[in-house]
């Protein structure tokens, strides 16, 4: 019961309060942008973020697909309780109007009204040594998710092929994913793993680079290329189209170069919960 309430609080925090790193990047974009309409859109975005925080309202009406990444030690004692609590918390968050009922049957479109259905909420497990757990809450909006894509490149196309794929997707998506966006890229692994890594890459705060220099350099280069597209805020043009690019990678099959790309809207909502082996919890952003 207690864990359920903690998760409920984390969902509410994620939905109503933008993480400080995202706020700072939006503010930087506002100060940097010279395109008048895009600047006015950034102003509305900042006003909205502040108003939502002050009134404890959802930042965006698309409160997303409730997505959880669990970074869990092999010896963490509350695995079952954690999963049950996530499902209950999502359902309670819906009845408390923290989130919109956003999960429907793919065949009939029928909405059960509680954000719970087959495989939803979506829970991703990453197991490691240890006896504690971190739960990442990532409500993922539909408009930006629709701009996500997978490319099974030929290995001969190499890193240049990855760069072209990202730029091409951003131009195709235009204003639809609510730019300035954040790009998560998963390189290698296979079709499924590349996309999971791409989404996992979004958990990293903006401005924090990958621990390997070669990956960090590619993140910065892609950020620079992405901002040459001129998409601008909400598609109105200008110098800021993407706030950051985050890459994760896995070893690949010699014949494949999979690249998964997950696009996140400017409303990059996150929260995380740390739970130790005694059940002590801490909610952070």
172 in Cβ contact with 186 (< 8 Å): no
The three-state secondary structure class of 109 is coil
104 contacts another protein (rule: CB under 8 A): yes
Closest approach of Cβ 240 to another protein, in Å? 14
Q: Give the Cα separation of 90 and 8 in Å (integer).
A: 7
Q: With binding defined as CB under 8 A, does residue 101 bind another protein?
A: yes
67 C-beta neighbours (distance < 10 Å), count: 18
Partnered with residue 264 across adjacent β-strands are 182
Q: Establish if 130 lies at the interface with another protein (CB under 8 A).
A: no
Q: Residue 45's closest CA among 32, 63, 29, 34? A: 29
Residues 157, 163, 167, 170, Cα dihedral to 10°: 100
* Per-residue contact string for residues 66-85; x = within reach of another protein by CB under 8 A: --------------------
Q: For the chain, give percent helix, strand, coil, nearest 5.
A: 40, 25, 35
State which of positions 10-69 bind another protein (CB under 8 A). 37, 40-41, 44-45, 47-48, 51-52, 55, 57-63
Q: Toward another protein, which CB reaches closer, 196 or 263?
A: 263
Q: Of 61 and 131, which CB lies nearer to another protein in the complex structure? A: 61
Distance CA 39, CA 68 (A): 33
Centroid of chain to Cα 39: 24
| E-assigned strand segments in the chain | 65-73, 122-128, 133-140, 149-153, 181-187, 242-249, 257-264, 271-275, 281-284
Of 188 and 235, which CB lies nearer to another protein in the complex structure?
235
**By CB under 8 A, which span of 80-88, 125-133, 165-173, 204-212 interacts with another protein?**
165-173
What residues does 139 pair with on adjacent strands? 66
User: How many whole angstroms separate alpha carbon 264 and alpha carbon 202?
Assistant: 8
Q: Which of residues 174-193 bind another protein (CB under 8 A)?
A: 174-176, 178
Q: Is 120 among the residues that bind another protein (CB under 8 A)?
A: no
# chain residues binding another protein, by CB under 8 A = 53
Q: Find the binder of another protein among 32, 152, 155, 168 (CB under 8 A).
A: 168
How many beta carbons lie within 10 A of that of residue 129, not counting itself? 7
Q: Map the footprint of another protein across residues 196-255, applying CB under 8 A.
A: 225, 228-231, 234-237
Choices 74-82, 85-93, 188-196, 264-272; region in contact with another protein by CB under 8 A: 264-272
Q: Is 136 in the site for another protein (CB under 8 A)?
A: no
Return the residue of 106, 109, 156, 254 that touches another protein, per CB under 8 A.
109
User: Of residues 78, 81, 122, 163, which one binds another protein by CB under 8 A?
Assistant: 163
> By the criterion CB under 8 A, which residues form the site for another protein?
37, 40-41, 44-45, 47-48, 51-52, 55, 57-63, 97, 99-102, 104, 109-111, 113, 141-143, 146, 160, 163-164, 167-168, 171, 174-176, 178, 225, 228-231, 234-237, 265-267
């Amino acid at each position: 019961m207690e864990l359920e309430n903690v998760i409920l609080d984390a969902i509410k925090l994620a939905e109503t309060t933008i993480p400080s790193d995202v706020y700072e990047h939006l503010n930087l974009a506002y100060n940097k942008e010279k395109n008048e309409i895009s600047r006015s859109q950034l102003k509305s975005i900042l006003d909205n973020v502040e108003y939502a925080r002050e009134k404890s309202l959802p930042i965006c009406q698309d409160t997303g697909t409730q997505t959880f990444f669990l970074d869990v030690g092999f010896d963490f004692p509350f695995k079952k309780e954690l999963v049950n609590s996530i499902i209950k918390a999502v359902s309670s968050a819906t009845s408390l109007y923290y989130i919109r009922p956003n999960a429907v049957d793919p065949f009939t479109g029928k909405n059960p009204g509680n954000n719970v259905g087959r495989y939803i909420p979506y829970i991703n497990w990453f197991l490691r040594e240890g006896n504690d757990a971190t739960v990442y809450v990532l409500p993922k909006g539909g408009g930006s998710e629709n701009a996500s894509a997978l490319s099974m490149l030929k290995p001969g196309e190499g890193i240049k092929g990855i760069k072209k794929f990202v730029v091409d997707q951003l131009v195709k998506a235009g204003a639809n994913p609510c730019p300035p966006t954040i790009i998560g890229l998963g390189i290698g692994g296979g079709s499924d793993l590349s996309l999971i890594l791409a989404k996992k890459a979004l958990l990293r705060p903006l401005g924090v680079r990958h621990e390997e220099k070669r990956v960090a350099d590619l993140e910065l280069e892609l950020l620079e290329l992405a901002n040459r597209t001129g998409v601008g805020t909400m598609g109105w043009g200008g110098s800021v189209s993407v706030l950051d690019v985050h890459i994760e990678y896995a070893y690949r099959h010699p014949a494949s170069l999979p690249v998964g790309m997950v696009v996140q809207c400017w409303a990059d909502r996150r929260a995380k919960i740390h739970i130790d082996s005694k059940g002590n919890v801490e909610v952070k952003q």
